[in-house]
Chains A and B, each alone.
Chain A
């Protein structure tokens, strides 16, 4: 006579989202554009639109921030991308740097 087996409960498999330690701990940087008296406002707006694909309104907002507050944080990125943006901005002769986000 077949014995009655007790139902086996299979533990629910939990899938943990893997977070790579590289992503978790990699430092991030603010790409900052600093004010100077020589770069023309219309030029700065144009560069922001060109490099970041922003619309005119957003580009002008950041340009005015640079003009009025002395600097504007443009993006927060990992080292490689932040470095890329600084190179691009400086190719246009804007005063841009990358600063640790912590």
Chain B
């Protein structure tokens, strides 16, 4: 995966066929896991904390619904343009942020399902097919996060505008 073009409107990435198919598959499956109850404070005993926490969880649920819609938008015809050597994906600044949030939601969701392990590369192979699937999804989402974020520092090949 590489950045081929960058201008004021957005970014254009080239993904090989396998990368393009994987990313589209991740987007189409979103959300991969159920929501996890979020905490707003670890110490605050203020009665308002409960109210704030409920509000936070409602807001996160709403945000996830929005992300689902936006994931579908990213899969709209023409967004991933298939060519002979792979896909060209064009993203605006906002779309790239959305994509990063979706990918990290998948990554963190899988980690929760796996029991929040300290070690992300287990010494023994995953014991069940379910575990294997979630480990793979977690790593795949991480791969794309790094690929998209490395373009910020110019680590990937940059094209001309």
Contacts and interface: CB of A to CB of B under 8 A. Distances in A.
Interface of A: 29, 36-40, 42-43, 46, 50, 79, 83, 86-87, 90-93, 97-100
B36 to A, nearest CB: 9
A40 B44 contact: no
B22 interface: no
A94 B138 CA distance: 15
Interface of B: 38-44, 46, 48, 52, 55-56, 59-60, 63, 97, 100-101, 104-105, 107-108, 111, 116-120, 138, 142, 145-146, 149-150, 152
B100 to A, nearest CB: 7
B43 A38 contact: no
Contact of B108 (A42, A46, A93, A98): A93
B142 A86 contact: no
Contact of A37 (B63, B118, B145): B118
A54 to B, nearest CB: 14
Chain B contact residues: helix, strand, loop or mixed: helix
Contacts of A38: 107-108, 111, 116, 120, 138
Given A43-B145, A97-B40, A99-B43, 14 more contacts: A37-B117, A37-B118, A37-B119, A39-B104, A42-B146, A50-B97, A83-B56, A90-B38, A92-B104, A97-B42, A98-B44, A98-B52, A99-B41, A99-B42
Contact of B149 (A29, A37, A43, A100): A43
A88 to B, nearest CB: 10
Contacts of A86: 40, 56
B100 A46 contact: yes
B64 to A, nearest CB: 9
A86 B46 CA distance: 17
Nearest to B105: A93
A90 B63 CA distance: 10
A92 B102 CA distance: 8
A99 B46 CA distance: 10
A19 B52 CA distance: 28
Nearest to B49: A98
Nearest to B56: A87
A66 B2 CA distance: 30
Given A37-B118, A38-B120, A100-B46, A83 B108 contact: no
